[in-house]
């Protein structure tokens, strides 16, 4: 959960400044400064857009075209408790089943901003801004706190298009240094946003192991937005981090959506191990592996819990997993994706 910061950066003299601030900040859910003696500057707001593309760069032109190809599937959402806004983020139209449409977005939309943000707020009003600027009311359908995803229903609109999320990169395709584009939409302005980046080997700072890392620099307005490849294939849903947007792969998202439909919730699968890309490991780890397997690539096992499914199967710390069912592995998310796929098949048979 990312919070907005207020900084005192310049001097203002205005007798009615406290009243003006309350009128402007409180309805948007922003905190008030403890003192009004100096000037203030709001940073990291939900109104801050990303991807200032100059239009004279070939790469920027490609990014714009990718964003335009999905623009009618990209909306923005805001949650309100009474008249006070709680959160805003981006969403993607993923299903059109008349008379309604479903929007995939971040569960931060419905979480409390206090403490660790794990509490889900009740009686929230959700507003959805369409590409035309029109506001409609949304209703929460399902959410999952671990993956931090939510699905919101709205009344079907002819201006919207269902995103082809099945047009995604296969799980076993090598993705190292893939070119990516992050796409979002701001709530107040309705502005469509996009920026480029690349996929990283390293893990993210978040607890969810399935998150992949990228160099796409987004703002908080892009939380819940799309990550697509340079070829237009869908890669995942983005979250916010200052150094680049982490994202949840669509292979995981699709399994979550299937669980929502079948079980009403996401059924968690714990393997009892922590893994990471061998290429992202520290040099001394790479040296240990290199001594025995100079050309090794794949997934490095960092930790195995006692009496876990991974331990029972004979997996040990320091192992390198290179293939599963003849599929070469290049990132940790592929292992988790494969196991979730097997688990899902077993639960429906």
Q: Which two tokens stand for residue 51?
A: 């991807």
Give the residue extent of every domain in the chain: 74-155, 179-258, 273-343
Bond from prior residue into 343 cis (ω within 30 degrees of 0)? no
CATH of domain 179-258: 2.40.10.10
Distance set, CA 94 to CA 135, 151, 256 (Å)? 19, 9, 13
Average pLDDT, the chain: 81
pLDDT score of 107: 96
Task: Give the predicted TM-score (pTM) of the model.
Answer: 0.75
C-alpha closest to that of 101 among 81, 131, 65: 131
- Matching fold, domains 74-155 and 179-258: yes
Q: How far apart are CA 277 and CA 333, in angstroms?
A: 9
Q: What digits encode the pLDDT tens for the residues 309-325? A: 888 888 889 888 887 77
Closest CA to 250 of 238, 239, 234, 265: 234
Q: What is the dihedral of CA 167, 147, 89, 142, to 10 degrees?
A: 90
> What single DSSP character describes residue 139?
E
CATH class given for the domain over 74-155: mainly beta
Tell me how far CA of residue 88 lies from CA of 2, 47, 49, 128, 184, in angstroms: 12, 9, 12, 10, 11
More confident residue, 37 or 277: 277
For residue 334 the two structure tokens come to 């592929």
pLDDT tops 60 at residue 94: yes
Q: 344 pLDDT band (50/70/90 cuts)?
A: very low
Q: What mean pLDDT comes out for the span 198-225?
A: 84
Which pLDDT score, from 0 to 100, does residue 173 have?
47
For residues 215-229, give the mean pLDDT: 94
Q: How confident is the model at residue 9 (pLDDT cuts 50, 70, 90)?
A: very low
Cα–Cα distances (Å) from 80 to 127, 136, 137, 280, in that order, read: 8, 13, 11, 41
Q: Kindly report the backbone phi and psi dihedral angles of residue 72, in degrees, each rounded to the nearest multiple of 5, phi listed first.
A: -80, 0
Given a contact cutoff of 8 angstroms between Cβ atoms, the answer to whether 121 and 111 are in contact is: yes
Q: What is the pLDDT of residue 5?
A: 44
Residue closest to 158 by CA, chosen among 68, 72, 66:
72
Percent of the chain with pLDDT over 70: 73
- CA atoms of 224 and 91, how far apart (whole Å): 6
Please write the tens of the pLDDT for every residue from 45-54.
Answer: 778 899 888 7
CB atoms within 10 A of CB 269: 14
104, 149 in Cβ contact below 8 A? yes
Interstrand relation of 84-97 and 5-7 (parallel, antiparallel or unpaired): unpaired
Contact 59, 231 (CB under 8 A): no
């Amino acid at each position: 959960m990312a919070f907005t910061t207020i900084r005192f950066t310049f001097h203002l003299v205005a007798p009615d400044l406290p009243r003006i601030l309350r009128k402007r900040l409180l309805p948007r859910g922003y905190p008030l400064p403890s003192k009004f003696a100096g000037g203030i500057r709001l940073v990291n707001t939900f109104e801050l857009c990303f991807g200032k593309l100059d239009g004279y760069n070939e790469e920027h032109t490609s990014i714009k075209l990718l964003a335009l190809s999905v623009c009618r599937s990209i909306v923005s959402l805001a949650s309100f408790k009474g008249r006070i806004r709680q959160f805003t983020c981006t969403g993607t139209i993923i299903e059109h089943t008349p008379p309604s449409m479903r929007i995939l977005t971040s569960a931060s939309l419905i979480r409390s901003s206090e403490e660790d943000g794990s509490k889900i707020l009740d009686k929230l009003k959700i507003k959805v801004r369409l590409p035309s600027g029109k506001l409609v009311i949304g209703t929460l359908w399902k959410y999952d706190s671990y993956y931090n995803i939510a699905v919101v229903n709205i009344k079907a609109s002819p201006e919207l298009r269902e995103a082809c999320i099945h047009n995604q990169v296969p799980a076993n395709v090598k993705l190292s240094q893939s070119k990516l584009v992050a796409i979002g939409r701001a709530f107040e302005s309705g502005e469509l946003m996009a920026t480029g980046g690349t996929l990283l080997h390293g893990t993210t700072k978040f607890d969810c192991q399935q998150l992949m890392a990228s160099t796409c620099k987004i703002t908080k307005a892009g939380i819940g937005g799309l990550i697509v490849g340079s070829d237009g294939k869908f890669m995942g849903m983005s979250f916010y981090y200052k150094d680049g947007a982490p994202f949840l792969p669509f292979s995981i998202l699709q399994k979550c959506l299937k669980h929502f439909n079948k079980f009403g919730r996401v059924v968690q699968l714990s393997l009892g191990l922590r893994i990471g890309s061998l290429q992202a490991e520290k040099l001394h780890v790479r040296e240990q592996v290199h001594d025995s397997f100079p050309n090794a690539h794949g997934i490095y096992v960092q930790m195995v819990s006692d009496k876990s499914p991974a331990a029972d199967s004979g997996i040990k710390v320091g192992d390198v997993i290179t293939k599963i069912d003849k599929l070469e592995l290049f990132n940790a998310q592929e292992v988790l994706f494969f196991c979730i796929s097997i688990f899902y098949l077993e639960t429906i048979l």
